[in-house]
């Protein structure tokens, strides 16, 4: 749809900000040049843990293993609940850009059961898209090839992807106070809008937009050989062990762009990845989607959802990445446990009452218990915190920048999913100004 878009200013240079985030997020992200800290942990505590390696579970991988008679394992670079990810060398490659790839190995139970995920079909659908001229095609992590691998825990679906540098979970550490500059964030937001538009045009809903599913693209592949593989410590593994011992990941984040040349980190591009829990518009993997704190209003009240649910998720994650501030928590003092009522109260305080037409589509047990006749939360304590326009929420931005960004969030994050804007209107908003 948007192959002919004239994009304005995507290549802008950043203006660094030095403000302190008001509500810093906590994470286990290492400094760009630090080594992982899990090395001395007990095996069951290392990342995915020993218990994940069981029949139907993860596949035990050893450095030096060769998959599909072609891909040689060099290092572990990531893991998740349903997979592990490895840096591999393509033994059939004819240039450095194609020599290094990412191998994602799914749990054996991901396919072949009663509730197969859709990742393989969706990735194939994306790769085979007839209209690759869609602008968003280039901002999605695409499947290069796939194969099956038989192991002691079952048959595993394996994906080969283009190698990525890091995710937006850690990217902010390159900048003062862990806050991504305005023009860089604007650039990334435009690319993410285009990626989502591409997916939605192909009838796919991502459902899981969060910082660690948004990847920064590689800039300099020569640094893998000259830097990364020289600096990491290859763990000692015993192929005769009775139970597989997990090894720690060594991220590539300090070795994907050269800080001494023109390929600076602030000129990077991103790609939306990890489609493991994505759904088709016509067939949902599950109805309980999205990271809890980023969950859309319609999902929270168990109303029907579609592609526009991604736009709420997108808006909420922008604030989290841009200013290192989490928009919603749903946590109740003093214990700090999550409550749906608290989360919905935060949404109403920020964006106003729920419309009647949306409440009528929701789970009436939830709606009747929590909402009053005006679409507000019953017996909710009045909001005492600063408004979204305050510097507490948007540190390091002047009033004009804050007003423009808040206007953008309120445009994208309409409580009624039917009122959320089209991709064209999102790109036209002054905060992005991406359409001529």
Place of tokens 């650039």: 187
Please name the residues in contact with 218: beta carbons below 8 A apart, sequence gap of 6 or more.
162, 163, 164, 165, 256, 257
Is 341 marked within a binding site? no
Widest CA span in the chain: 66
Calpha distance 46→403 (Å, rounded): 44
Calpha distance 332→337 (Å, rounded): 6
CA angle 21, 26, 27 (to 5 degrees): 130
CB 106 within 8 A of CB 56: no
Calpha distance 10→26 (Å, rounded): 30
Name the phi and psi angles at 300, rounded to 5. -60, -35
CB 239 within 8 A of CB 246: no
The 3-state DSSP class for residue 87 equals strand
CB 272 within 8 A of CB 192: yes
Binding residues: 104
Binding residues for ATP: 104
């Amino acid at each position: 749809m948007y192959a002919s878009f004239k994009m304005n200013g995507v290549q802008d240079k950043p203006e660094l900000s030095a403000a302190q985030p008001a509500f810093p997020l906590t994470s286990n992200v290492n400094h760009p040049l630090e080594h992982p800290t899990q090395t001395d942990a007990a095996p069951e505590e290392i990342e995915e843990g020993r218990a994940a390696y069981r029949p139907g579970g993860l596949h035990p991988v050893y450095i030096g293993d060769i998959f599909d008679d072609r891909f040689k394992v060099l290092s572990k670079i990531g893991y998740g609940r349903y997979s592990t990810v490895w840096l591999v060398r393509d033994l059939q490659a004819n240039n450095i850009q194609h020599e290094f790839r990412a191998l994602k190995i799914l749990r054996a139970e991901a396919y072949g059961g009663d509730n197969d995920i859709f990742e393989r079909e969706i990735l194939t659908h994306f790769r085979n898209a007839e209209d690759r001229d869609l602008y968003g095609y280039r901002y999605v992590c695409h499947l290069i090839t796939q194969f099956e691998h038989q192991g002691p825990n079952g048959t595993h679906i394996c994906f080969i992807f283009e190698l990525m540098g890091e995710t937006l979970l850690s990217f902010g550490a390159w900048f003062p106070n862990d806050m991504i500059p305005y023009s860089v964030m604007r650039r990334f937001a435009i690319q993410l809008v285009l990626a989502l538009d591409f997916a939605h045009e192909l009838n796919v809903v991502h459902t899981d937009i969060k910082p660690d599913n948004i990847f920064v693209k590689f800039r300099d592949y020569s640094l893998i050989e000259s830097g990364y593989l020289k600096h990491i410590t290859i763990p000692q593994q015993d192929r005769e062990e009775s139970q597989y011992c997990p090894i720690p990941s060594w991220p590539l984040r300090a070795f994907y762009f050269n800080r001494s040349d023109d390929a600076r980190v602030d000129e990077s591009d991103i790609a939306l990845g990890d489609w493991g829990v994505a759904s088709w518009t016509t067939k949902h993997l599950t109805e309980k989607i999205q990271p809890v704190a980023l969950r859309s209003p319609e999902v929270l009240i168990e109303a029907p959802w579609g592609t526009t649910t991604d736009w709420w998720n997108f808006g909420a994650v922008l604030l989290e990445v841009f200013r290192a501030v989490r928009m919603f928590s749903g946590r109740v003092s003093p214990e700090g446990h999550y409550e749906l009522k608290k989360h919905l109260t935060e949404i109403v305080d920020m964006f106003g009452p729920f419309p009647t037409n949306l409440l009528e589509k929701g789970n009436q047990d939830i709606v009747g218990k929590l909402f009053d006749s005006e679409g507000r939360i019953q017996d909710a304590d009045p909001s005492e915190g600063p408004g979204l326009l305050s510097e507490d929420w948007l540190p390091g931005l002047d009033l004009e920048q804050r007003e423009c960004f808040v206007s953008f969030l309120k445009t994208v994050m309409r409580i009624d999913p039917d009122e959320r804007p089209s991709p064209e209107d999102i790109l036209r908003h002054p905060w992005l100004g991406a359409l001529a």
